[in-house]
Chain A
Amino acid sequence: MRIPWPGVAAGLAVAALGTTGLVRGSMPQSSGTAAGPSSANPIVVTGAFVRPPLPPSKNAAVYFTVYNTTGKPDRLQAVTAAIGTDAVLHTSGMAADPNGVVIPAKGHLSLSVGHGHVMIEGVTARLRAGEQVNIELDFENAGPVDVTAPVVPLGSPTPSGAPS
């Protein structure tokens, strides 16, 4: 019954967004360690934020858009978060993606409420508004990419540039 999430077949959207889609917002950004052929930053992450757990649940959700600026597909193969016991990429239903997700050349992956997230499990620390959470995205080609996401409690507006 599940309708397949279109996943990363969204390369066209990047073309539609043009370069403005790649403008870095006020969110802290970082890039991969390996420089891609077409950009100093092969992977660019924008609009990241984290929804803290609602007690007694210990699950937090992180949202962001990640752009692959290179001319080659890259695979987001792992996510890690120090604040929890585990971090899992959910893009299709609640099922984890065991092999990660391929982001097409010049494509992007957008995780927004109802359309995927990184779930951080086992968050025991209390996350307060304005605090920052660090997660690491591990790419097959670009290597590790650090993302800093501000804590935005439920009901607070999402940061500008956040995926919707």
Chain B
Amino acid sequence: MKRLVLLLLTALLALTACTGSDGKRSKPQPSELQGNPGTGKYMGSGLIPPQPRPSFTLTDTSGQPFAFGSQTSGHPTFLYFGYTNCPDECPASLADIATATRLVSPAIAAQTYVVFVTTDLKHDTGSVIKTWLHNFHFGRGVTVVGLRGTQAQIDAAQAASHIPLAEDGGETHSTSSLLYGRDDYARVLFLRSNDEDKAMTHDLKIIGSAE
């Protein structure tokens, strides 16, 4: 029960708008969720129990179906839900993910997927998402995927990822970046903070090296 409460708390903290809203500066700390063996080595927020890589199928920026569960299986994968007109949180988190993928070894970078799912169905067309993702300088060999879908599909994808559903036309959305490992479980997520890039780099090194 205690574990469930902790997880719920994480989820609550995670639903901030693109501007964020928890004034407590919930900066991820090492071993933030104390007493959970196995999370102490991560700088991000530990997920207990680990969350399995979700299965959902959306549409990529070239209009092709993308089955997240099977097509990213076995790869270190960042998953982020946001929208391109977001002036604040989304660019910051994507830039931090990009930094992490540049700072890990080329071998890990070449294995890594970064998947951005839009919560703004009205404005974010495939070409808008594609152009916007080009603003970020990801590491060499990283596979960057931008996804969109119907409201029902996006909602289902968020639910499958244990992310609170976005509101206000997608503008109020989770600011969590999930990181799935090669074993297809997420053991850590990242909440927006000034040290997010360091935490992501640190944890991607571990997760990208683990079998």
Give chain A's interface residues, CB within 8 Å of chain B.
1-7, 51, 53-57, 59-61, 90-95, 113-117, 119, 154-155, 164
Contacts and interface: CB of A to CB of B under 8 A. Distances in A.
Contact of B19 (A55, A116, A155): A116
B21 A93 contact: yes
A90 B86 CA distance: 12
Interface stretch (B39-47, B89-97, B153-161, B176-184): B89-97
Given A2-B16, A3-B16, A115 B85 contact: no
Contacts of A94: 17-19, 168, 171-172
Contact of A3 (B21, B167, B168, B171): B21
Among A57, A60, A94, A95, which residue has the most Cβ atoms of chain B within 10 A?
A94
B23 A61 contact: no
Contacts, number: 106
A164 B86 CA distance: 19
B36 interface: no
A96 B194 CA distance: 24
14 contacts: A1-B12, A1-B164, A3-B15, A3-B16, A5-B23, A7-B23, A55-B131, A55-B135, A59-B86, A92-B17, A92-B19, A93-B17, A94-B18, A114-B175
Question: Nearest 9 A-B pairs (CB), nearest first?
Answer: A114-B20, A93-B17, A6-B23, A61-B87, A94-B171, A54-B135, A59-B87, A94-B17, A5-B21
B92 A113 contact: yes
A115 B95 contact: no
Given A4-B21, A55-B135, A94-B17, 13 more contacts: A3-B15, A5-B19, A5-B23, A55-B132, A57-B132, A91-B19, A93-B16, A93-B17, A93-B171, A94-B168, A94-B171, A114-B175, A117-B19
A2 B87 contact: no
Interface in B164-205: 164, 167-168, 171-172, 175, 192-194
Interface of B: 12-13, 15-23, 25, 84-89, 91-92, 95, 99, 128, 131-132, 135, 137, 164, 167-168, 171-172, 175, 192-194
A92 B88 CA distance: 13
A102 B100 CA distance: 39
B168 A114 contact: no
B92 A114 contact: yes
B87 A114 contact: no
Contacts of B17: 2, 90, 92-95
Contacts of A61: 87-88
A54 B88 CA distance: 10
A12 to B, nearest CB: 13
A58 to B, nearest CB: 8
Contacts of A2: 15-17, 21, 172
